[in-house]
Every structure is written in C-alpha cells, then in structure tokens.
Structure 1
C-alpha cells in the first residue's frame, strides 16, 4: 500500500479523540448549519446524520471509502426510517395541539427527546463503523488531495458519487440544496487538522 494512501495515524487519532456526537453538537450550533441540514433533509432527502458524519471525517482530513459506505448507509437509513422518522413525524403532528394543551406539549417534548436520542444512536453507529478495524476492507482513508470544490465533494459523498439534486435552479441561481452545502463548507475549517 503506497504511503499516500496509508491511513495517517495522526488523522485517525484525531478522529478517535473527537466523538462524532460532540462534533455534531458543536458543528450544528454554528451559524446556518442547522438550517442547512434541515434544507438538505427536507428538500434533498438526505440523512442529516450522514451529512454530519462526512463533515466529521472531512474535518480530520479523512473520507469514507465509497464502496464500503454503501452497506452501512442502508443500515443507517433503515434506522432512520423505522425509528427517527417515526418520532419526527409524531413530534411534528403534535405541534399545533401542543400550543393549546399542556399535556400534549409535555408529550411532544418527550418525543423530541426520544428523537434526539435516536439521532445520537445513529451517529454513534456511524462512528463505530468508521473506527472498526477490518482486515479485508477499509472504511475510511486519507483525503490525499484537498478537493478544489468541497461542496461538490460533499454532494458526491452524500449521493453515492452521482448527482442527485441540482446545483442550479431554473434561472441559473444556486439551488437551496447547493446553498445549504455551501453553508456547511463555509463552517468547516479546511485548515484544521492534518491534511
């Protein structure tokens, strides 16, 4: 295995020192990130946990190996569909009733906490997968060359290497999805950590 491809121990150590959940909380709190993630979720159908996972890797100078991530993506999407999305739908359905009923408001708050716990579990499973040592397959690798267009790089990672949503709208203006990706990229520190 060539040295440029060998997983850099400094990058891997950094990944181990910054739990994905901690990264996600800090990153999500940055200006515009929450709105960007929700745009990618609601308008592009992307999984916010996977978005945060790829941002976490990128912040350490790493990326998921595309062929390896496809199987775990199916597992994580299954979790999202069967657990998180169900809780999110319940929480959203109770929004109007909660405004006028304290008991429903308390129930909605409990469901919101359960939804957050489901997201945390999903992120922990992404992290475990990334840090697993497999003899026959690598999960993550160094980003050998910093991408010239990080938004496009992230979009490809999230859409299995294919473009699934448009970068420009009908009048050649950036789509909401592209604007959301660009917001995330602006908040990632490209000079942070080993590259």
Structure 2
C-alpha cells in the first residue's frame, strides 16, 4: 500500500473507533489502567500511537513533543478532575441513589473528555497543512508492537521527567506485552 493510500485509510478510520475496538480486546483495559496508575502513562496518547502504528505510521517525535503539552494539560485540567470526582463518590454512591446518578454522569463526562482529547490528537495528526511532516511511515512487524509502542509513549514522552520510574518492571512489562499482542491483529492490510 502506498503512503497516500495509507494516509487515506488512516483518515477513514476514526481514532475513537479504533480506540474502542482496541480497548475492548482481552486485557487491554487492565493494561492501560496499570500503565496509567503505576507509570503515569497518558492512555489517550498511547491509543493515538497505537492507531498510527496499526496503519503503518508513527508521529514525528519533534512534532509530538510540541503538541503533547497541550494534550497533557487537557488531561490534567479536565479529564483527571472528572475522574477524581467520579472515583471520590464511589463509597457514598453505594448507599445513595442521587450520588449514584451523579457518579454515573461524571463517568460519562470523563468518557466525553477522553473522546474530545482523542479527537484533538486525530485532528492534529491529519492537519491538512502538515501531515507529511507530522507522520512518518514506520516498519510494522508482528511481535514488534509492544517494543515500538513503549518507545513511542515512554521514551519520547517521559525522558524529561525528574522522577525515575522503572518502566520495565515485570508488571508493567506484562502490560506492554498485552497491548502489543492485542495491537498486532488490528494492523490493516498494507
């Protein structure tokens, strides 16, 4: 498949639809949450990189670095706030119907915030003025997905962090491997 055909197919495959499909595969939700909780991985960015990879692309590191701060700001100021409110009401929602309903509303709002973030990642990648600069064709090989994904998300995104997290601990490595195994079957024909 030529680069223009790949790009056309990427444009026809919404990131949100890809994310729902991948996230629903066995073990992916748990792996994403583990990486989010234990290693501070931004799941929306992880899903974005998986979407690109499944179409044979990767985001240009220098372009991603410029945009990542804006997306992380959204995650911290909107999505995380909604998530904390949602989680904070769990115990009280078990005994109060009104709090349960409020918690469900917050859960939906959190999901909408994540969908908006993914939509913005997609718009950024497919910006008609610079997709060739932002996206590069990448080699896709079965069994390579976990390593590739970890490099895109961890090595590029977290090299400037002051804290030293062990991103290769056995539980985190298992999460990366699960994501890779479930990403491999999602590759489109090239």
Same fold (TM over 0.5): yes
1:134 match: 129
Matching of residue 90 in structure 1 with residue 85 in structure 2:
yes
* 1:61/1:194 contact within 8 Å kept: no
User: Which of 10, 22, 25 is the equivalent residue of 2:20?
Assistant: 25
Deviations 1:60-114 (A, max 9, x none): 0111111110111100000000000000000000000000000000000000000
Deviation at 1:165, TM superposition (A): 4.6
User: Which of 40, 51, 55 is the equivalent residue of 2:50?
Assistant: 55
Distance in 1 (CA, whole Å) between partners of 2:59 and 2:142 is: 14
1:166 match: 166
1:189 match: 184
* 1:10/1:194 contact within 8 Å kept: no
Number of residue equivalences: 184
* 1:166/1:178 contact within 8 Å kept: no
Q: SS at 2:184's partner residue?
A: coil
Structure 1 stretches lacking a partner, 5+ long: 1-6, 170-174
When normalised by structure 1's length, the TM-score is 0.86
Higher helix fraction: Structure 1 or Structure 2? Answer: 2
Structure 2 stretches lacking a partner, 5+ long: none
Paired residues for 1:30-179 under 5 Å? 30-135=25-130, 138-144=133-139, 146=141, 149-161=144-156, 165-166=165-166, 168-169=168-169, 175-179=170-174
Q: Indicate the RMSD between aligned Cα atoms, in angstroms.
A: 2.2
1:172 match: none
When normalised by structure 2's length, the TM-score is 0.88
Deviation at 1:166, TM superposition (A): 3.2
